[in-house]
A and B are shown apart, each in its own frame.
Chain A
Amino acid sequence: MMADVTALALVALLLPAVSFLILAVVVPLRRLGRPAAYVSLLCAGGALAAAALAWRGAAERSRLVWDWIPAEAGPLATIGVLVDHDSTSMLLLVALVAFLVQLYSIGYLSDELPYALGRYYTYQSLFAFSMMALVLAPNFVQLFIAWELVGLSSYLLIGFWYHKPAAARAAVKAFWTTKLGDVGLLIGIVMLWRHTGTFDLTELQAMVNSGTVAAAGLSVMTFCIYLGAVGKSAQFPLHIWLPDAMEGPTPVSALIHAATMVTAGVYLLHRTSWLFALTPEVLAIVVWIGALTALLAAVLACVQDDIKRVLAYSTVSQLGYMMAAIGAGFSAAGFFHLLTHGLFKALLFLGAGAVIHAVGSNDLSRMGGLVKRMPQTAVLFIIGSLALAGIPFFGGFLSKEDVLGTVWEGGHVVPFAILMLVAFLTAFYMFRVVFLAFFGAEALVAHAHAAAASSADHASAHGAGHGPGSHGSDGHAAGGHGIPHDPPAVMRLPLWILAVLSTMTGAYVTVSGPELFLGHLEHEPTSPAWLMPAAVAVAGAGIALAWLTYQRAVLDAERLASSMGVLRTAALAKFWMDDAFEAVYYRVFLGFSRMVGWLDRYIVDGVLNVVSEWTVVGGDKLRAMQTGRAQDYVVAVGAGLLAMLIWIGWGR
């Protein structure tokens, strides 16, 4: 049975790779578009089936590895699969969301040109493969490889509409920012290898358990590894790339920038939690940064007018939650939240995609009253929002309780308070979106129609607009749809599946605990009894505030906002984080490199040219000795002879 599980995991891993290879190499097939999509979809479906079977079968940890980099004393690095409860759960999530997103994209990207569609599915297959390789990585080397490859897929997919300057910028920004974290990860891996002599997770864990890993310097290593997670999982201060990554197609945002890739950092920390347990000081940093990120992003989410950006910031915020749980020492809670979050956040994004598809714009102010036009989407979106807000029996309820409980348990009172505040804000901003988009006045529909028509050519949809609210549409062509309506079945089906699964799991775990996903937990956090009612009350308060403000208009939104004063200004400016990074890049870094370039060209090379000039000028000067007059030569000969004679005479 065990061999079967690893084989199944391997099949799940390799099917997307096969699809990627086929699409990448067989150019005519890729150019056909639709057939390419079907190939990719078929493989993703197969991978999903294999992943589900592997998940069912995973009991004990088992691994299968091959040599990868040889060395004199046995292989330096291996590749393979490591199958256990966690990795198969994550594998299933990845395979499921990847499959559903690919299915959904057939509808969402139906207006794309065939070759672009083929390209899209090539990247999607690459992503699915890389993400699964990451999930199943048996050692740090494969993990890093897959880590970088998902970064690459993310870069390619954000830049899918590469002719859009904003998309091109966002793609590069995402790659650079995460790469900055990866510098830390790479350093950490190298140091750890030197420290322990192995990359292998299983061996490392055995060493940690037997206490043979020296503690000296270990915190530097874990901190460096954590830096990688900071980049990938969009933790403060490297969170700046994720909102911009929304320039990619919405299904991509759902898959990569919400459900799977961005959670890789959380997954990494969960995977190596036994290692981090040796360095409590790093874990303390993880908690604080996690809580801070959650708060920061939640505040930012409240002021966004772009539906995708709200969701993006909420993703950042939820990642902060997960990190905080891991930092508190109960990584299982963070991982649990990761799994449930993956489902309902994918649902939310795909729902938002349906809205964008219908309205032709990302802007919340162009939506409103959509519940009448697209009732199914509205229901699905609300289910997702309830799950995110942490309402009992919905997807995110228990996992959020667990996170809060573990942070309380870990004795981090201030982060706990922050996270409670974030729970309130989360409910508020999600239902702000719900009320603004699906309820309220419908007057703007005609306007939306015009907007849809004008954004049909997504290359020219928007220029360099960068402030909140000026983001225009997803670049998606919705021209031709007169009145917004529910999406076609191919898009609706994934939404329903996600909603049902999310709610079912939410209800199930609310009743019977998270063992289904996490296996038997060694020490389940015992949260205090008051926590659950308190959290629900906070979430309810958030929803109520949103309702009062945006539905009933009891509170004036503008006055509420302006009462926040400087906080609001700061939030609108994204706390000047992007500006700070941009300034560092353009002023400091680019300036410095220009200086080096100038020095090289005009000083280092200049010295060379001076030497060259001196050589030639010196030769020119010496040339003057050759007057060409025979008599001068005779004088020289005579003088030389005389000098020789004198010199000889001198010796006597």
Chain B
Amino acid sequence: MSGLPFLSIITWAPFVSAVVIMFCARHRPLLVRWTATIGTGISLLASLWVYWAYDRVSAGFQFQETFALVPSLGISYFLALDGMSALMVLLTSIIIFAGVFASWTVKQRSQEFYALLLILVTGVYGVFVSLDLFVLFLFYEIAVLPMYLLIGIWGSSGEVRPQGIFGRAMGWTGVGTKEYAAMKLTLYLLFGSAFILVGILALFVAAGSRTFSFLELQSIRFDPSLQSWVFLAFYVGFGILAAIWPLHTWSPDGHASAPTAVSMLHAGVLMKLGAYGVVRVGMGLLPEATVQWAWLVGLIGCINIVYGALSAMAQTDLKYVIAYSSVSHMGVVMLGAATLTEHGLNGSVFQMFAHGIMTGLFFALVGLVYEKAHSRAILKMGGFGTMMPGIATAFTIGGLSSLGLPATAGFVAEFLTFLGAWSSAHPWWLFPGVFGAFITSLYVLRVTRYIFWGPKSDDPHFAHLPDAQGTEWAALGILVFVLVLFGVAPGLAIGPIDTATVPLLERLAPLMSAARTR
């Protein structure tokens, strides 16, 4: 059993099903869906197995697969997995599996839609399991590019009125349309990946132009001044994908315009690629720079938390609320990572997972509400709880996780992050974090109350709204179950995470004590 190349199976199963869909399933929408289900199902099963079989005692990188691609440059197809990436792979599997169900009703060009979605997922898996920076970068680009088509073709346009002193420029760029959002997202992310490429190449050259292997680069002590700017390059490059302030504005537009499954995947998983990149590549390879720049990462994280939450409060479009809440929650992730403490980092990685599931659930629900009510305007809706109790319940559970209520995964993540923040070098980070959680409770319950509670809206459009049905239940059920399961039994995730974060911190510990004495 252990002889199988599990990581390759996980990574390429969606790709193979995408190929099958493109060549064998023309004009047979049901076959398209089932092929996608099977492909992602294989990945899900394999990643569950890998997660289960991961040896937590010996820890380190396991399930290694190596295959030299360009020996002269030291590029190889090198896959392996540690506790942190195992959890991320599991997250990806869950989200895409639910995402396939959530987009069951895509009618327009479903063949291409599913194929692109599955290729995108291959890229995501690839980033999480590659230990060769060059291959990692390739997968990263694969994960970013299909987004342009997915949003540009299957997206939906929002309503944004250009105003303010830059109103002319905004009107000119077509704010709010799906094409605008797709272009903005793609440009932003490619802008970021340019930084990443430069950083990777700098490390490659500094290491003697022999290898792109993460493990080999890790064993090299780079010059601190080189580390310093390479870390910033990685931080900006990956950080854009994690929506760090002020480079976050692609995310609300992108998420709001994207079709349901794409929003789920994007907010649920792709943003985690950014945070994962900062932690894995940035912090993993550049210990001195990590200690040097932790204050910046944490500060921006704090800004993200409060700023994102306040912005979410101000929105009237449901999808924008959720999108800004993602900005806020990614702040928690970055803050936890910046604490450079065991609990903070565990909280950070756990928050990646928790937020992934939670926001996936949110976008699935918003998609359902939109599909049935054809509206995203919060203030127009009302009293939907009577008509769609199931959706209302799931939304409430997602919201509660979002505001960090215990017994959902969100609480554990935030709690650990707060513990880390207070024991870090900058204890005051605790306060923006806690305050952000409080604001989250304000906007989440406000939205819940407006949409699902209260008397039924008089609008005739909302007279007959069906609850979720069939495959939609499958998507919601999976996500809610995971959200609660990991909230009740966080040890399931913290155990593996701990095996990845503790070695990372052990590398940092001498530097931090040196920095403290200085």
Contact = CB atoms under 8 A, between A and B. Distances in A.
Interface of A: 67-72, 76, 141, 144-146, 148-149, 152, 155, 159, 162-165, 168-169, 171-172, 175-176, 179-180, 183, 186-187, 190-191, 193-194, 459, 589-590, 592-598, 600-610, 612-613
Does more than half of chain B's interface fall in helix, strand or loop, or is it mixed?
helix
A636 to B, nearest CB: 31
Given A159-B453, A179-B438, A609 B311 contact: no
A596 B311 contact: yes
Nearest to A142: B406
A191 B495 contact: no
Given A148-B405, A187-B431, A190-B419, A165 B455 contact: yes
B60 interface: no
Interface in B158-187: 160, 163-170, 172-173, 175, 184
Given A176-B441, A609-B173, A145 B407 contact: yes
A71 B166 contact: no
Given A172-B446, A596-B311, A69 B441 contact: no
B378 interface: no
Contact of A145 (B343, B411, B422, B441): B411
Contacts of B412: 69
B400 A152 contact: yes
A164 B315 CA distance: 24
Contacts of B439: 593
A603 B164 CA distance: 8
Contacts of B456: 163
Contacts of B406: 144-146, 148-149
B163 A600 contact: no
Nearest to A75: B491
Nearest to A147: B406
B416 A190 contact: no
Interface centre among A141, A152, A163 (most CB of B within 10 A): A163
B434 A609 contact: no
Given A194-B423, A612-B169, A72 B454 contact: no
Given A76-B343, A162-B454, A179-B441, A68 B490 contact: yes
B311 A600 contact: yes
Contact of A593 (B172, B310, B419, B445): B310
B337 interface: no
By size class, the interface of chain B is 35 or more
Nearest 6 A/B pairs, CB to CB: A597-B314, A606-B166, A602-B164, A145-B406, A593-B313, A168-B453
B472 interface: no
B148 interface: no
Contact of B422 (A76, A183, A194): A194
Contacts, number: 159
Interface in B413-464: 415-416, 418-419, 422-423, 430-431, 434-435, 437-439, 441-442, 445-446, 449, 452-456
Given A186-B418, A602-B164, A606-B165, A68 B311 contact: no
Interface string B204-234: 0000000000000000000000000000000
Given A67-B491, A69-B490, A148-B406, A612 B173 contact: yes
A603 B307 CA distance: 14
A441 B430 CA distance: 60
Contacts of A69: 412, 416, 490-491, 494
9 contacts: A68-B491, A76-B419, A146-B406, A172-B445, A179-B441, A193-B422, A194-B419, A595-B314, A606-B166
Contacts of B419: 76, 190, 193-194
A609 B170 contact: yes
Contacts of A190: 418-419, 422, 430
A159 to B, nearest CB: 6
A609 B166 contact: yes
Interface in B137-166: 160, 163-166
A179 B422 CA distance: 20
A444 to B, nearest CB: 29
A163 B455 contact: yes
